[in-house]
Amino acid sequence: MSEAVSVMNGAERGTSIRVRDAGLQGMITLRGDLSAAKLKSAVKAATGHAVPKAREIAFADGKGVAWMSPDELLLLVPYGEADAAVASLEAALAGTHSLAVNVSDARAFFAVEGASARDVIAKIAPVDMHPDSFGPGELRRTRMAQAAAAFWMSDAETIHVICFRSVGQYMFDLLATSAETGAVEAF
């Protein structure tokens, strides 16, 4: 079987702030009634996490779940397990109105690491990156320069960014440029 390749094939740039292709990550778009017990337990089964509150994300060891909209979650699972997870979700949710679809290959996935990681985002997204306003546990869907993106922090110095695969190169270059021009030191 041919190897699956992530969009930037593991590329990395930067020193004090590092931007890297975070590799293949299994991702599933799940649409449905987020308050339904059946869905809640299916999500728990697939990811080990409960359905998060609005704008929140739970993510650990390659598995997680993010609130994307009132009727949409993004489930994060290891890349190779995504199809199986979709199948289990479909089975668990049979008979309810829902949609589970593997979107792992439709995404690019990056990590921004370093003390000024917040600045990298604040230069390109209309989001308040002040620690009082945004921190680990929260996911923000927004615009980064001219492309749609979502990001979350796993700790104070690590930000994960996802965007569409086709703009992966653009996003990588954008993040790297933002990182290379240094900190603003305004937080």
Partner 1 sequence: MLTLKCPYCGVHADETELHPGSEAHLKRYGPGSSDDEFEGYLFMRENPKGVHFERWRHVYGCGKWFLAARDTNTLEVFGTYSAQTTEPPQEIKEAITAKRPGWSWREFQ
Partner 2 sequence: MSTRLSSGGRLVNKDKPVEFQFNGKRLKGYEGDTLASALLANDQMLVGRSFKYHRPRGIVASGAEEPNALVNLGQGGKFEPNQRVTTTELFDGLYATSQNHWPTLEFDIGAINTYLARFLPAGFYYKMFMFPRPFWKHVYEPFIRQSAGLGKAPKDRDADTYEHFYAFYDVVVIGGGIAGLTAALEAGKSGARVLVMEQTAAWGGRAVVDGVEIDGQAAEEWVAASVEALQAMENVEIRTRLMGAGVYDHGYLLAYERLRDHLPEEKGPRHRLWRIRTKQIVTATGAIERPISFAGNDLPGVMLASAVRDYVVNWGVSIGDRTVVVTNNDDAYRTAIVLKEAGLDVPAIIDARQGGAGALMDEARGLGIRVETGKAIAKVKGKGRVTGVAICAQAGQGGVLDEIACDCVAMSGGWSPVVHLWSHCGGKLKWDDAQAMFRPDPAKAPKGASGEAFVITAGIANGHLRSADALVDAFEAGRSAAKAAGGKVKAGKAPVAADADEATLEAIWLMPQGASIKLRMKAWLDFQNDVKVSDVQLAAREGFESVEHAKRYTTLGMATDQGKLSNINGLAILSDALDQPIPQTGTTTFRPPYTPISMGAIAGEARDELFQPIRRTPMYQWHEANGADFEPVGHWRRPYAFVRSGESVHDAVNREVMNTREKLGLLDASTLGKLIVKGPDAGKFLDMMYTNMMSTLPVGKCRYGLMCNENGFLSDDGVVARINEDTWLCHTTTGGADRIHAWMEDWLQCEWWDWKVYVANVTEQYAQVAVVGPNARKVLEKIGGMDVSKEAIPFMQWADGELGGIKARVYRISFSGELSYEIAVPASQGRAFWDMLLEAGEEFGVMPYGTECLHIMRAEKGFIMIGDETDGTVIPQDLNLNWAISKKKEDYLGKRAQERSHMADPNRWKLVGLETLDGSVLPDGAYAVAPGLNSNGQRNTIGRVTSTYHSPTLNKGIAMGLVHNGPDRMGDVIEFRKVDGTTVKARIVDQVFYDKDGEKQNV
- Site of interaction with partner 1 (CB under 8 A): 54-55, 68-70, 72, 126, 140-143, 148
**For partner 2, which is the closer residue by CB, 157 or 183?**
183
**For partner 1, which is the closer residue by CB, 70 or 95?**
70
Polymer length of the chain: 187
Report the C-alpha gap between 64 and 57 in whole angstroms: 7
CB burial readout 2-41, b (16+ within 10 A) else e: eeeebbbeebebbeebbbbbbbbbbbbbbbbebeeeebee
Verify binding: residue 16, partner 2, rule CB under 8 A: no
What separation in angstroms does the CA of 41 have from each of 56, 81, 95, 143?
18, 18, 15, 32
**For partner 1, which is the closer residue by CB, 17 or 159?**
159
Instruction: Choose which of 43, 65, 162, 167 interacts with partner 2 (CB under 8 A).
Output: 167
**For partner 1, which is the closer residue by CB, 59 or 134?**
134
What separation in angstroms does the CA of 53 have from each of 20, 57, 67, 174?
29, 8, 7, 30
Report the C-alpha gap between 149 and 142 in whole angstroms: 6
Using alpha carbons, select from 97, 104, 95, 134 the residue that is nearest to residue 27: 104
- Binding part of the chain for partner 2, among 42-50, 56-64, 100-108, 109-117 by CB under 8 A, reads 100-108
Which of the choices partner 2, partner 1, none does residue 116 contact, using the CB cut-off of 5 to 8 A by kind?
none
Which of the choices partner 1, partner 2, none does residue 13 contact, using the CB cut-off of 5 to 8 A by kind?
none
What separation in angstroms does the CA of 47 have from each of 63, 65, 152?
6, 7, 17
What x/- string results for residues 124 through 163 when contact with partner 2 is judged by CB under 8 A? xxxxxxx-xx-----------xxx----------------
What residues from 20 to 79 belong to the interface with partner 2 (CB under 8 A)? 24, 29, 31-32, 71
Residues forming contacts to partner 2 in the complex (CB under 8 A) are 1-6, 24, 29, 31-32, 71, 83, 97-99, 101-107, 119, 122-130, 132-133, 145-147, 164-171, 173-174, 177-178, 181-182, 184, 186
